[in-house]
A = this chain, B = another copy of it.
Amino acid sequence: MHDLLFSGAVPLAESQHDMSKKFHVTLHDIAQQVNVSKVTVSKALRGHPDISAETVKKIKSVASELGYFPNYMARNLSSNRSHTIGVVVPKIAHFFFSAVIEAIYDAALENNYDIILTVSQENVERELRQIRSLLSMRVDGIIISVTQQTKDPAIFYQVKEMGIPVTFMDRAIDGEGFNSVVADDFGGAYTATEYAIKSGFQRIGHLGGFAHTMIGKERFRGFKAAMQHYKMPLHPEWIVRGGFSDADGYDGFMKLYESHKLPDFLFAVTYPVALGVHQAARQVGMNIPKDIDIISFGPHGLNEMFSPQMNYIEQPTIELGKKAVELTLNNIRQRDGFIPQKITLPTKLVLCDQEFKKVAS
């Protein structure tokens, strides 16, 4: 029995210069064994209705006996579909992105699609390089969360021209003809600010993100809108525009601290920024929330560690990933008939509770 096992594959190997091919069984090998043609095997393995149940059974058994794995490179080349979605993110080791990425993987699997993930590391050149790479891999669609520096939409138009749907996730750039799935940054910021106002804080400050990013803009806009709606004066000295990292939060707080006119409440643009604030506050001997309270966007399950816990705006990470995949898939399936969609998912104000929640396993 075992002599037969590689009877198709081994002779093939002998004639190969590349030894790595040694044990790569092909349709041809199976066809020989079963005494049918390659095409029959191909059809049988893919569940094509043409082939008789008996033949299918025989073919399948031989296939698994030989340890056959379809060669996707060959399959994709001839069918001209890769059944793959390319993804570009700025970071992986990041609370928010790692959660979204996982959701993307799960959603894709449910739809029998593969994901090819790439990382730009917040670097525009690397981002471009990765997009090119995905194009060369002939992905069927691309989901991207751009870097904080990405401004030029040219490449995205080029991708679209190639017939490859583009879906922006969370971080979008201006431009027509693309899908996008973003969290309701404006609404979240508005709610957070409103909460501070209604809680009676009088000196409310904002540590905002980069002014040129959608997120930085929208969250600042939500902050302003709430302040204006409740007739609170906007104090420019309490508004610091920086980046999205903990270092930015640290620096921002220190800047306020050194000016000797700290607000009594801070709305931080991201969770890392809030962490930086915590760090800085501890360093100068100030207590949160006693001396100064804070709220920020989405800690993504990390809040449990804090004592006392922080209030926050929950971002729909799972939904973002899921929607991005669905949208991209719809676009891929409908191709030209598809009208690009822009989806905004709601955020939620979470006031800290003491109930036990799962963090990460």
Query: A: which residues have CB within 8 A of B?
Result: 18-24, 67, 69-74, 76-77, 80-82, 91-95, 98-99, 101-102, 105-106, 109, 114-119, 121-122, 126, 132-133, 135-138, 140, 158, 161-164, 243-247, 250, 272, 275-276, 278-280, 282-283, 302, 304-307, 335-336, 354, 356, 358-361
Contacts and interface: CB of A to CB of B under 8 A. Distances in A.
Interface-centre pick from A105, A140, A246, A276 (highest chain B CB count, 10 A): A246
A361 B243 contact: yes
A98 B105 contact: no
Given A71-B138, A92-B98, 4 more contacts: A19-B335, A92-B92, A98-B98, A246-B361
B245 A360 contact: yes
Nearest to A23: B162
Which of A115, A136, A140 lies at the interface centre, i.e. has the most chain B CB atoms within 10 A of its CB? A136
Given A76-B73, A138-B73, A163 B361 contact: no
A99 B106 contact: no
B76 A20 contact: no
A246 B360 contact: yes
A245 B117 contact: no
Given A19-B163, A306-B305, A247 B133 contact: no
Given A92-B92, A279-B356, A20 B98 contact: no
Contact of A80 (B21, B116, B126, B361): B21
B71 A136 contact: yes
A92 B118 CA distance: 14
A282 B305 contact: no
Contacts of A67: 158, 162
Nearest to A131: B69
B119 A360 contact: no
A246 to B, nearest CB: 4
Contacts of A335: 19-20
A138 B361 contact: no
Contact of A360 (B24, B94, B138, B278): B94
Given A93-B360, A245-B358, A358-B247, A80 B20 contact: yes
Given A19-B163, A335-B19, A77 B80 contact: no
Contacts of A119: 102, 105-106
A208 to B, nearest CB: 16
Given A19-B335, A92-B98, A246 B77 contact: no
A77 B72 CA distance: 9
Contacts of A306: 305
A76 B73 CA distance: 7
Nearest to A246: B359
Nearest to A301: B93
Contact of A106 (B23, B121, B245): B121
A253 to B, nearest CB: 11
Q: 3 smallest A-B Cβ distances: which pairs?
A: A245-B361, A93-B98, A98-B98
